[in-house]
Amino acid sequence: MNEVLLKIAGAVEYPAEFSFADLAAVDPRQQIVDVSQIAAGRKGDAVRLAGLLALVKPKVEARYLNLHATADNFHASIPLNAVTEKAIVLYRLDGQPLTVKAGGPIRFFIPDHKACHTDEIDECANVKFVDTIELAATRGFDNRPHDEQEHADLHAKEQ
Ligand SMILES: Nc1nc2c(c(=O)[nH]1)N[C@H]1C(S)=C(S)[C@@H](COP(=O)(O)O)O[C@H]1N2
Ligand SMILES: [Mo]
C-alpha cells in the first residue's frame, strides 16, 4: 500500500509521489466516495484533482496537464483551466487499488467532459493506468486517436 502509484511533477512548487495510502489520506473534503454520484455508471472512489493540486501547488506558468500512462504508452495533454474543478483521480474500488481491467491502479477521469467546451478534452483524455501527471506551460506529447479509424483500432486492442 506504500508503493508509489502516481507522481505529480513539472511546473509545481512541491513535486510529489502518492501511494494508495497517501491518496486515501488526502483531506476528506477532496474525496469522492462512490463516483456514481457524479459519473453515471462509474464505480469506485476518487480524490479531486483540485485536492492534489492544492498539495503540489502549480506554478503560475502551468497551463497544461500532461497525463502519462507508461503501461501502454498512452499520453494526453489537456488545458489545465478547463478541468481543474472537474477532474478526479480514481484510486479505489472495493477498498483496493483499481484493477488493471478497471483502468487501474489509478485512472484520471473528467465526469462531464463535454461541459469543458474544448476539442482538446474528450473521453479519450480519461487516461487509464495514469502514473505521472506533469504540469507544463505549453501543450505536451499527446497520442490520443485522431480519427474514427485510429479510435476503432485502439478500442479493438482493449479486450
Ligand atoms: N492508458 C490508456 N488510457 C485510455 C485509453 C488507452 O488506450 N490507454 N483509451 C482512451 C479512450 S480512446 C477512451 S474512449 C476511454 C475509454 O474508457 P472507458 O472504456 O472506461 O469508457 O479511455 C481512454 N483512456
Ligand atoms: Mo476514445
86-139 pLDDT, tens digit each: 999 999 999 999 999 999 999 999 999 988 888 899 999 999 999 999 999 999
91 Cα–ligand 2 center, Å: 21
Provide the pLDDT for residue 140.
98
70: cell is 507508461
pLDDT cut 70: percent of the chain above it: 99
**Residue 151 CA, closest ligand 1 atom number:** 12
Q: Which of 113, 120, 123 to mutate to test the pocket of ligand 1 (most atoms within 8 A of CB)?
A: 123
Ligand 1 within 6 A of 90 CB? Answer: no
Provide the pLDDT for residue 116.
87
Phi, psi of 28 (to 5 degrees): -55, -25
Q: Model-level pTM greater than 0.85? A: yes
CB 86 within 8 A of CB 116: yes
Ligand 1 within 6 A of 30 CB? Answer: no
Question: Which ligand has its closest atom nearest to the C-alpha of 144?
Answer: 1
pLDDT tens digits, residue range 53-63?
A: 999 999 999 99
> In sequence order, what are the residues at sequence separation of 6 or more whose Cβ sits closer than 8 angstroms to the Cβ of residue 83?
49, 65, 110, 116, 121
Phi, psi of 105 (to 5 degrees): -75, -20
CATH of 4-158, one of 3.40.50.300, 3.90.420.10, 3.30.70.260, 1.40.20.10: 3.90.420.10
User: Does residue 159 surpass a pLDDT of 70?
Assistant: no
Euclidean distance between the first and the last CA atom of the chain, given in angstroms as a whole number: 28
Q: Where are the domains of the chain?
A: 4-158
